[in-house]
Structure 1
Amino acid sequence: MNLIDLLPSGSHGATPETTYESFLRWVEDRGIGLYPAQDEAVMELVQGNNVILATPTGSGKSLVAVAAHFYSLTRGEVSFYTAPIKALVSEKFFALCDIFGADNVGLITGDSSVNADAPIICCTAEILANMALREGDQADVGTVVMDEFHFYSDPQRGWAWQLPLLELPQSQFLLMSATLGDVTRFEDELTARTGRHTTTVAHAERPIPLHFYYSEQPVQEQVEELLSTRQTPVYIVHFSQLDAIERAQGLLSVAICTREEKERIAELVGGFRFSAGFGKTLNKLVRHGIGVHHAGMLPKYRRLVEQLAQAGLLKVICGTDTLGVGINVPIRTVLITALTKFDGTRMRALNAREFHQIAGRAGRAGFDTAGTVVVQAPEYVIENKKAIEKAVAKFGDDSKKLRQIPKKKAPQGFVSWSDKTFDRLVSATPEPLTSSFKITHAMIMNLLERPGDSFAAARRLLTENHETPTRQRVLQRQALGILRELMATGVVVRRQEPDEYGNMLALTVDLPQNFALNQPLSPFALAAFELLDREAPSYALDVVSIVEATLDDPRQVLSLQEKKARGEAIARMKADGVGYDERMNALDEITYAKPLADLLEENFETYRHGAPWLGDFELAPKSVVRDMYERAMSFTDYVNFYQLARSEGVLLRYLTDAYKALQQTVPQDALREDLEDLVAWLGEMVRQIDSSLLDEWEQLSRGDMPEDHRDEIVPPEPERLTSNERAFRVMVRNEMFRRVQLFADEQEQSLGELDAAAGFDADAWADAMDEYFDEHEDIDDGPGGRGQEYFILTQGRERWTVRQIFKDPAGHKDWGIDAYVDLAASDEAGEAVVTVTRIGRLDG
C-alpha cells in the first residue's frame, strides 16, 4: 500500500489523531509494529513538536522519519531529508519513492536534481544549509529530517548541520543519531527558536541487546570460535584498507562456508564481471564466504558484498569503520581489531561516539536475539600471553624460568589500549556534540542577497551560533575582513539611501545559482579556456587540465603519483652519480604533475579580485585524466601502474566527476574534434568499469527516474563497448600508442607482458628495437607522434585491422606496428583487446 493513499481526507484539516491512525494503519499493513520509542516519537511529531531521536542503531529511526514526511504532507508543506553522504541520500530517495510514489519525492545533489519541486526532498546537508542562508525564515521548508546528526561535530562540514537550526525557525525538526550524547542544549534552543515543544526520545531499550567481550586470543582463533558458535555474520573492523584486505586473505585457510553455500555463491556471482587486480582477489574471497568492504572499492564491488551479506552468504566481512554510516549490511558480531586510529594527523584512542557507532552495527533485527561486540587486545599483548601459556605448559609454575621468557614490547610510537580502556568505552556515553561553525565569503554574500534586514541576519548568525564567546569574536573579525574585501573590489557597495528593509549595503553581482555547491570554480574554468591557443596540439589536454584544477583532489591517487615520481627521480639521480644528501634535498621539490599550474594560479588571483566569493576556494592543479590519456592507459593499466588496487573506487569517482565537469563546463564553441574524442573515451571507460555512478547522474540530469537494480546481484551490463564507435576508436588508438611509448623508452619487458601471448615476447621486442634504432636516432612519442596521419584503421564486422606508424626524425614513416582488434572480445572485456601481428619495417 502506498502511504500517499492514506493521507487523511481534507489533508489541510487533518488532525494529529487522524494522521497518527493513518500512519499506524500503514505500518500494520506491512506486518510490523512500532517499538515504544518509535511510537512516542511519532506521536510527538504529529502534534507538531520537534523530536531529537537518540535511540540505538537498529531501533527503527528511518520509520520515524517516514512519519515526519507523512505529517508534513498532511499540512501541505515541503519536508527535507538530509544526510552526510550522497550514497545515503540516494538510497533514501529510492526508499521514499517506494513509500510515497516517485511523483512526490525529489532529489537534489551538487551536480544534478530530479523532481526538485516535489513535497519531499532528499539532499545533502550542505544543500539545505545554503538554502537556509539565502532565504532564512522565508524558505519553503516545513519539516527537516537530519540523519546522522552527530556530523554536527565534523570539523569540515559541521557548519551545514548547525545552520538550519539557526536560520529556519519556521520548520519542525527531527534530529536523528544513535550517538548524540547530551542534547539538552539542542532541546532548549529548538524550543526557543521554533516556538515548538522539543522532546528527546533517548535511552530506549535496544531491540537487539549487545554483549561485549575483550579478547586476548589471535584474530584467526577468535573468528574460528565465532564460526563454531554460530555468531556470524561477523564484521572485522580495521582502521586501514590494507589491514582489511590482508586480514581477509589471511582467513582463506579457515573453513568459512559449507560446500552447499559455496555452490550457491558461485551460482550468484557466475555472471559478475570481476576486473583484473583487486577484482580477482575479491572473486576468490567471496567464493570462500569472505567479503571486503571499504570506501576505496568500486561501487559495484561494495554493492556485491552488501547483497551477498544480506543473502546470508558471507560469514565474515573485513572492512573499515566506514560501515558505521547508515549502510544496510546485516551483522551479528562486530570484531574490532584496535581501539586506536590515525585521524589524519596522529594516532589516537577512539572516543566513545566512534566506538558505539561501530559497535552499534551488531545485531540483526528479525534474525538475532542479541548482538556480539568483541574487541581485540593489542597484538603484542596477545603474543606475550601465548608465550607465557606455552612456557607454563613446559615449565609449570617455575617462576624463575617464567621470568626469563622474553616479552614483546609495544612498537615505537604505538598508542596502546587495555581491558580498562575497553571497559571505559563500553560504559561511556557519547561525548557532547561540539560546534564546528565557520564563516566564509559564500555565507556573507548569501546573507546579503537574502530579502530583509541582512545586517541583522548576519549579526544574529555571528552572535547566536554555538561557538564560545572567544571563538565568536574571531568569526566576527573574519566576517568584517571578508566584507571589507567585498567592498574594496566593488562587489558590495554602500547605498545612498537604505532600502525598504533598512539595508545600507547592496550586492552588485548576481550570484550563480548553487555556486557554492557544484564545482564553484567552474566559472573560472570557463574564463580560463580563453587563455588557450585553440590551434595548439595540446589544446584538448590543456582544457582537461583546467577542468581538473577545479576538482577536489583524490588524495590517495595523488599520493601514489608523488611516490612514483620520487622513486623514478631517485633512480635517475643514482644513475647520474648524485650523492645521498643532494638526492634527499632534491626530493622536497618533487611532487605529482601539475600542468598549467603557473598560468592558472596567476590568472586565478586576478579573476578572484572580481569574484571575491571565491576567496574560500583554491585551485588544485593535477593530472589524472590527462596523465592516463597521455600514457595511453586503460583503467586497469593505470591502477596497476600506480598500484591503486586499494583505491579503485576513489579513482573511479574522480574520473566520473571529471567527466561530469567536462560535460557541464566546456561550452560548444570550445570543443574540438580531439577534445570530443577524449571526453567520449573518458565517459565510455567509466561506464565500462562501473556504470552505476554515471548512469544515475545522466538519468537524473535528464529528469528521469533511474532504474532501480538494488536487488540484482549481477548489475546490468553496460551497452556493448563497440557500439560507442567514437570512444572505442580512441581506446584502440591508445592501445597502439602505448606500445609506441614503451618502444621509445626501450621497455621490452613491459611490451613482452602485453604481447607474449601473440608471440611477441620481450626478446622479440628487443630485437625490433635494436633494428629500428640502428636505422633511426629517435622516435616521437609525444602529441605529434599520435597524430591521425600515423594511425590507419580498417573496420570489419568482427575485427578491425590497425597500423600504428612510428614518427621518425627524418619523416620516412617506414616503421610501425600492425595489429587486429577482436570486437567480441573487446565487448566481453570492456576494453579494447588488441593483438599484435607484426613489428618492423612497413610494406609500401
Structure 2
Amino acid sequence: MDVRELSLSEQYLSHFEADGIRQLYPPQAASVEAGILEDANILVSIPTASGKTFVSILGLLSSDGPGLYICPFRALAREKYTRFSELPNTDVALSIGATTVDERLGDPETADLIVATSEKVDAAIRTGAAWIRELQTIVVDEIHLIGSEDRGPTLEMAVAMLSRQLPDAQFIGLSATISNPNEIADWLNATPVVSTWRPIELRRGICDGKTIQFESGSTQTISTSEQQGPLDSKNAEMCRSATAAVLVNGAINNSGQALIFVRSRSRAESLAKWLSTQQITDTSSSALATELKQTGDTGIGTRLSEAVSGGIGFHHAGLPTEQRQLLESAFRSRKLDCICATPTLAAGVNLPARRVIIADLKRYTGANLEWLPTFEVHQMMGRSGRPGMDPYGEAILFSPDSSAEQVKKRYFDSELDSITSHLATPEALKTHVLALIATGDATSQDTLQSVFAQTFFAAQSGSEALMSQLPSVLDKLQEMEMINNPSDTNMQYVATEVGEIAAKQYLSPQTAADIISDLKDMKELASTHLVTFFELISTTAEMPNVYLSDQDRAEILRFARKYRDVIITDEQAVPSFETWLADLRITQILLDWSSGKDKTELEAAYHVSPGDLERIFETTVWLLRATNQLAMTINDDYPTLTKTVERVVNQYNDPVPGLFEN
C-alpha cells in the first residue's frame, strides 16, 4: 500500500515521505484494512522493528480528539515523545516519573497527544485528571506486559478503567510476538493483526565457541588471534571474551554494529573494558568520551569514558539518565560500534544492531543459575537488524556449556509462553480495590465486581475466581483502617483519610499502614532525627535495594550504634538481619545526601551507582511527601519530619514548579 492511499491530511503524508516512508509494511497495510483509520480497536502482534509505532501514529493522527500513548518504561516514553514531537502541528506532552514525582514536558490538559507511563496514567485516573475524560484514542505499547508479575496489574487496571470510563474511545494494543494474541484482542474488543513478517531477514545461530550453526544449516568457523587468547583457554571468562571479540569484529568488518547482552552489570563493564583494548574498531569515539566525562566526574562515568575511548560502550540501569541517553544517541548515529548491555536495554529502548550476541543464556536467581525466559531472549534477538540500514540481522546465542540442539529446542523451536494476568494476587487486589473505593469509582461489592469484570483476568479466567477473594480483601482493608465498615442499609464502602492518602499518593495499603505504625512508635523515642524518618521510608517495599559487602556490614553496625536512640527498629526484633542492614545503608546514604553531598561523593563512599542513586532520591521525595501527609492524620506534631521534607526537597532541586505542594 502506498502512503498516498491513506486518508490523512497532506501535511502528514508529506511528513511521512520526507521521513522516507512511501510504502507501508504488510502488517501496517493489514492494520489499515482492519479499520485503524476508522476508529476500530486493533491489536497488533508483530516482531520488533516491524512498524508497530507507525501503526499507532496512523490511529492517533486520524483521531477526532486527544490521544494517549502508554509506555512501560521512561526511556521508551522519552524516545516516543521525541519522535511524536516531529509530527507537524501536533502538540505533544510527556508525563513520566516515579508515582507522584513528575517529569513533565508540555501540558496534558491542552496537548493533542500525551505520552505517559502506565503508573502515571493510573495516578491520573485516581486523581480525576480532566484530560483523561477527553481522550479519543488510546495506544497501549508493549501490552503483553500485563503478564508481568510486578507491573502487570497496574497496566491491566489502567486499561480496564479507561475502557470503562471511555467506552467510545479507540484502543490500539501493540505487542511483541506472543502465543495468545486473540485472548488480548478479545479483551480489548479488537481486531487482531498478527504477523511474523520482518522488514529484513533475521539469521539466528548458536555459537559453541568454535563455530556458529545457523538455522539455515550453514556454519561459520570462529578463530581468534593470539592477542585475544586461545578458545580452549582454561579461563572461562577469557574464552567468552575472546569469542565476543571475534563476533563483534565480524559485525564491524561487514559495516555493521553489535550489541552484546550479558547477565550482570559488572560483566557488561568488564567485557566492554577488555574489548576496548583489543583495537576492534576504528570508529573515533574520543568526542563522545569527553562528553561523557563532562556529565559528571563519577567513578562509573570515568569507566564508561575509558571504554568508549576504545569504541566500546556499556549500558545498564546503574548509569545516570544523561549518560544512558548520550550512549544511545551515539549508537544510533553510528559514533559507537558496540555496546555491552544487560537485558534491560532490550526491553526499555529501541536500539537495533546488525549483530546481537546473547553471551549469557543463564543468570543467577538467588544462588542458582537458571535459563533466561524464552520471551526475554526473543526480545533481545528482535533487536537484530536496523531497517533501511542493514541488509539482514543476526542473533547469535553463545552457549559453550550446552548442546546446540538443547539451545535450539529451548529458544528457537518452542512456543512462547502465554500471557496471563497477575491481578488476582492479594497485594495487587488490595491496592486496586482501595484505589477504586477512594476515588468513588466503585464503593460496593456489586460495583467492584462490575469493574473487575472488565479486566483481562476476568476475560481470561472468569470473574468468579477473583470475586471469591473480594470479601477477604475488603476485610483486610478494614482491619488496616484503609476503609470504613459499610452501613447495613446501603453497603457502601468509604475510604478513611489514611486510605485516601494512600491511594492518591500511590502507596500500597501495606506501606501506608506500616508508615502509620512507625509514626506511632516514634512516640516511644526520646527524640526524633533526620535518621528516624530516613529509616522509616527505607524499610518500605518501594525503596530500591542496595548491595552490601562484608566491610559495609561492620560500618553499618557502627552507624546503628551511633544513632540507636533515634532508630525505630530494634536489631533484636527484626525478621531479617540482612534486610535491616540494607535499610540502614539507605538511611546512611540519605543522611549524607541531605547534608549536601553529591552523587560523585556518595558513589565513592557507598559504591552505589549514580543511576541507582537517582532512583533512591526520587523514591525518597515521594515517600517523604506521603509520610508528611499521613502524619497529619495522627494529629501529632512531627517538626523534624517537616524539616526533613524541606531539606530533601531543596537537595533534590526539582525543576517542576509546585511539585512539592500538598
Q: TM class by shorter-chain length?
A: 0.7 to 0.9
Is 1:361 aligned with 2:383?
Answer: yes
Shift of the 594–276 alpha-carbon distance from structure 1 to 2, 3 Å rule, reads farther
Kindly provide the amino acid, as one letter, of the partner of residue 432 in structure 2.
M
In the alignment, which residue of structure 1 is the partner of 2:422?
A: 436
Is 1:275 aligned with 2:297?
Answer: yes
Kindly provide the amino acid, as one letter, of the partner of residue 177 in structure 1.
S
The 5 A counterparts of 1:299-378 are 299-343=321-365, 346-378=368-400
Kindly provide the amino acid, as one letter, of the partner of residue 259 in structure 2.
Y
Counterparts of 1:569 and 1:126 in 2: how far apart (Å)? Answer: 34
Is 1:186 aligned with 2:184?
Answer: yes
Is 1:203 aligned with 2:190?
Answer: no
In the alignment, which residue of structure 2 is the partner of 1:418?
A: 404
Counterparts of 1:453 and 1:175 in 2: how far apart (Å)? Answer: 30
Counterparts of 1:630 and 1:513 in 2: how far apart (Å)? Answer: 25
User: TM-score scaled to structure 1, two decimals?
Assistant: 0.60
Contact 1:593 1:623 in 2 (8 A): no
Unaligned runs of 5+ in 2: 210-238, 574-581, 630-636
Aligned Cα root-mean-square deviation (Å): 4.5
User: Once the 2 structures are TM-superposed, how far is the Cα of residue 239 of structure 1 from its aligned partner?
Assistant: 1.2
The 5 A counterparts of 1:359-508 are 359-378=381-400, 381=401, 416=402, 418-422=404-408, 424-438=410-424, 439-448=428-437, 449-450=439-440, 454-461=444-451, 465-467=455-457, 475-486=466-477, 491-495=483-487, 497-498=489-490, 504-507=491-494
Is 1:636 aligned with 2:600?
Answer: yes
Among 138, 144, 148, which residue is 1:144 paired with?
A: 138
The 5 A counterparts of 1:20-35 are 23-33=12-22, 34-35=24-25
Q: Deviations over 1:75-126 (max 9, x none)?
A: x3x4321122233233333433442667453526522255232443322223
Among 112, 117, 120, which residue is 1:124 paired with?
A: 117
Counterparts of 2:345 and 2:158 in 1: how far apart (Å)? Answer: 27
User: Once the 2 structures are TM-superposed, how far is the Cα of residue 333 of structure 1 from its aligned partner?
Assistant: 0.8
Kindly provide the amino acid, as one letter, of the partner of residue 548 in structure 2.
L
Paired residues, number: 585
Kindly provide the amino acid, as one letter, of the partner of residue 623 in structure 1.
T
Shift of the 71–377 alpha-carbon distance from structure 1 to 2, 3 Å rule, reads same
User: Once the 2 structures are TM-superposed, how far is the Cα of residue 639 of structure 1 from its aligned partner?
Assistant: 2.5
3-state SS of 1:362 partner:
coil
Q: Deviations over 1:52-73 (max 9, x none)?
A: 111221122112222222223x
In the alignment, which residue of structure 1 is the partner of 2:652?
A: 683
In the alignment, which residue of structure 2 is the partner of 1:84?
A: 72
Counterparts of 2:500 and 2:392 in 1: how far apart (Å)? Answer: 52
Counterparts of 1:594 and 1:64 in 2: how far apart (Å)? Answer: 60
3-state SS of 2:334 partner:
coil
Contact 2:313 2:336 in 1 (8 A): yes
Where relative contact order (Cα < 8 A, 6+ residues apart) is larger, the structure is 2
Counterparts of 2:482 and 2:244 in 1: how far apart (Å)? Answer: 67
User: Once the 2 structures are TM-superposed, how far is the Cα of residue 371 of structure 1 from its aligned partner?
Assistant: 0.9
Among 231, 235, 239, which residue is 2:259 paired with?
A: 235
Contact 2:518 2:568 in 1 (8 A): no
Q: Deviations over 1:539-588 (max 9, x none)?
A: 34434444545572221x2x316x43445699x9xxxxxxxxxxxxxxxx
Kindly provide the amino acid, as one letter, of the partner of residue 117 in structure 1.
E
Shift of the 637–262 alpha-carbon distance from structure 1 to 2, 3 Å rule, reads closer
Shift of the 456–129 alpha-carbon distance from structure 1 to 2, 3 Å rule, reads farther
Among 246, 251, 259, which residue is 2:270 paired with?
A: 246
Q: Deviations over 1:754-784 (max 9, x none)?
A: xxxxxxxxxxxxxxxxxxxxxxxxxxxxxxx
Kindly provide the amino acid, as one letter, of the partner of residue 81 in structure 2.
F
User: Once the 2 structures are TM-superposed, how far is the Cα of residue 363 of structure 1 from its aligned partner?
Assistant: 0.7
Kindly provide the amino acid, as one letter, of the partner of residue 88 in structure 1.
L
Contact 2:330 2:336 in 1 (8 A): yes
Shift of the 47–700 alpha-carbon distance from structure 1 to 2, 3 Å rule, reads farther
Contact 1:659 1:682 in 2 (8 A): no
Counterparts of 1:125 and 1:676 in 2: how far apart (Å)? Answer: 27
Shift of the 508–637 alpha-carbon distance from structure 1 to 2, 3 Å rule, reads closer
Is 1:115 aligned with 2:107?
Answer: yes
Contact 1:560 1:642 in 2 (8 A): no
Shift of the 450–46 alpha-carbon distance from structure 1 to 2, 3 Å rule, reads farther
User: Once the 2 structures are TM-superposed, how far is the Cα of residue 678 of structure 1 from its aligned partner?
Assistant: 4.6
Unaligned runs of 5+ in 1: 1-5, 7-15, 192-197, 382-415, 499-503, 573-588, 603-618, 685-693, 704-844
3-state SS of 2:109 partner:
coil
The alignment-based identity, stated in percent, is 22
Is 1:289 aligned with 2:311?
Answer: yes
User: TM-score scaled to structure 2, two decimals?
Assistant: 0.75
In the alignment, which residue of structure 2 is the partner of 1:215?
A: 207
Shift of the 352–524 alpha-carbon distance from structure 1 to 2, 3 Å rule, reads closer
Counterparts of 1:490 and 1:560 in 2: how far apart (Å)? Answer: 35
Counterparts of 2:473 and 2:651 in 1: how far apart (Å)? Answer: 39
Contact 1:134 1:446 in 2 (8 A): no
User: Once the 2 structures are TM-superposed, how far is the Cα of residue 427 of structure 1 from its aligned partner?
Assistant: 3.8
